[in-house]
Structure 1
Amino acid sequence: MQTNLADFIKDTPEGREADSILRSCVHCGFCNATCPTYQLLGDELDGPRGRIYLIKQMLEGQPVTRRTQVHLDRCLSCRSCETTCPSGVNYHRLLDIGRNVIEQRVARSIAEKATRFLLCQALPQPLIFKPAVKLGQWMRPLLPVVLADKVPAQSSGASKRYPACQSSARNRRMIALAGCVQPTLTPNTNAAAVRILGKLGIELFEAAGAGCCGALRYHLNAQEQALDDMRRVIDAWWPHVEGNQSGNVEAIVMTASGCGAHVREYGELLKHDPAYAEKASRISALTLDISQVLAVEQERLVELMQLKGKVGVGESRKLAFHSPCTLQHGQKIRGVVESLLVAAGYELTMVADSHFCCGSAGTYSITQPELSGRLRKNKLAALGAGSAEVFVTANIGCQTHLQSGTATPVRHWIELIDERLGD
């Protein structure tokens, strides 16, 4: 694709990156076949190829309108198009650059501004988010259906405290990211990970002060605030990472694939920051999804399950696994969770169109409720087709979004592995 970027951006780092991405696109259209919004709406401008043209026009100095902003807003950032693209177009980075430019050039309505401001301020801060959730749960019967749908049901009493490492061999240490909403909505996710790794002789802990990874604000176009979030996380982790001395962590473990996909891009997003570029690159290199850690330890894990008598004794349970976009497209981790669940004795049902997004996509279910609801309905139908007893996933956003549309339990897969290991 030929380009001629405008003076306002062509000599900037973002402009050079965008120019390179645009030139890699051969506008073949394969991406549209796996784009959820294009499949729903059938509009070329609601598919990756059309959005690339819109961004190109904007960066070349052509007039930008609200119409362009709407089409970019409708993108889920699911990155399914990147998995499909034969040319390796780095679409999500181009989208980030385009959204940042258009945010400065096209005014939003007061309602949109207020919604985005509240999301940026409330969700990343547990001191605000947790009381807000508790209040919403208490008032849920009185809320309009549209609002009640966004309020998760009260916790079933899952463990909220981390157990101690259950192995005498504590020579291995890893950091877990608490995140912003997961500690409130599904506190047992990280607790289950701590229990499992503890039995494998790995201490998993959270570093004080880390907080939100920055993904939420970044994808709401509050990119400068998000970069500050990322720097804060790096500062919290760095004392545990620096050097190769005994006692330092060997990995940074993510139990939310959305956070994992973002932290793995710290090195890229902060590469022009002289104070943080090297640290960010190191953090990204250390970051692993919890499934990658357990895959390496799978043989030992199965042995422990067998000792507990939980594998191969007729306790097979049917599960349907929803692989989050941030896991399969963002981090390119495919089949790993499924293998671990099968090794643990669970039966996985087939899920049609498993490459499609469930509609959660961070705050997308709030900013684009109609499209999000349609995608959730399609995903739940696919998950339920095999008569699974439980739906499992690997990201807090997907988990809460899907659960609000079904009576079937939706859980993080790590809890199912934890149950096989017993107390």
Structure 2
Amino acid sequence: MALSTNRSPQDTLKIAQVRSANVDGTWAIANKAGIAYSHDPVLGVSVVSKSDWGRLAEELSSSEFKMVKIDSVAASYGALQVWSVQTPRFDNARAQRRHSGLGAIWAVYSDEKSSVPDIQDFTEPVDAVYTWVDSSDPDWQTSYSQFKNSVPAAGSHPTSRDIARYTSRDELKYSLRSLEMNMPWIRQIYLVTAGQTPKWLDTSNTKIKVIDHAEIFESPEDCLPTFNSHAIETQISRISGLSEHFIYVNDDIFFGRPMSPNVFFTGSGSVKYSLAKAHYAEASNPRLAVNLAAKLNAELIEAKYGKTTARKFKHVAHPQRRSIHKLINKAFSAEVQETAKHKFRHVNDVSVPSALAHYVAAAEGVGVPADIDYAYVDLGGNHLPMNLYRLVRGRGMQMFCLNEVASVSENEKRGQLAKRVLDDLFPYKSSFEK
């Protein structure tokens, strides 16, 4: 495929087209040289032996393909090396690494070694669940104002009614781009909304399904409408067709380099959660919603399992098991039902996918802590330009978060700067965009 550079990539190409051009190009080189290889259609990885890779790498180099070595976790525990191979016709040398998810991914195995999955590889289907709201929707704003004024504030978290918490900067669009670039093996994406659909979303793409809150809440007449993410999160396991293993993603989370399911699950299917260094009991502001929920989560864990909890979790994409959510809904039904009924964040909320599910998974023997290469950037914090610069010029984080702890509307330039960074990191449209 010839890749035009006359216009910006956003106008001309999608992620799948760029990746297909790279894959087809490398296969053509391998076929011409008589080099044997195989392909994993789920992971999107081409597989070759060590000795054949040596020959193929020479052929690719002579044809001006650029090869970037990436983490072996992008493919399999059995791989010796993993490479992203890209034609230079659409990207510059400096961008090769940060756009490695667009390349043809080649996994190199020992000679005569079988390319079947390693015993430590996770190979079951994995779905992704996003929650999203369009706060610019007039109908949503009317409903928000109505319930903000009519629902008693007693017990609500002080920041729960700040409309700045719902501000959208098209993060979802870029998060989906990052997912398609770096995790093409995701089977199905579910977008949970308040009856809303992003204007740019291509609803004809069957890989993504928009789910209305009313479809999943057990008692919609008592709980909806809701403006509480904790409430919505208690219900996500009720999505029809959701796989046992799934990843819960906030729209301010982005995936920075190619990853396989092994980043999120063990070979036997246990979840790999990311502990933060901070202890919630030592938080400088114990009244923050995350710390209040952590305290309640700890009380529930101690009551059921006779053990306590201390550490918080990083703000990353959270691997989940649907069966753990069902166990939580049964074991802590009163707390879950109360949280589901809180229309705004409440001091008595539990936080299910981002914390309680990890604690319960650990207690049940199906959850383990794991290190994640991760960056957290507060759009309202100090040194924002430098922190964003590191994202663009670094080797690429497995995950990063662009969060807005407080409203930055007084300095819109910060939001514009973040959008320019996202355009640079994820310049091509996903298949989910019109």
**Structure number having the greater strand percentage:** 2
Fold similarity call, TM over 0.5 = no
User: Which of the pair has the greater relative contact order for Cα pairs under 8 Å at 6+ separation?
Assistant: 2
Shorter-chain TM range is under 0.3
**Structure number having the greater helix percentage:** 1
TM-score of the superposed pair, with normalisation by structure 1: 0.25
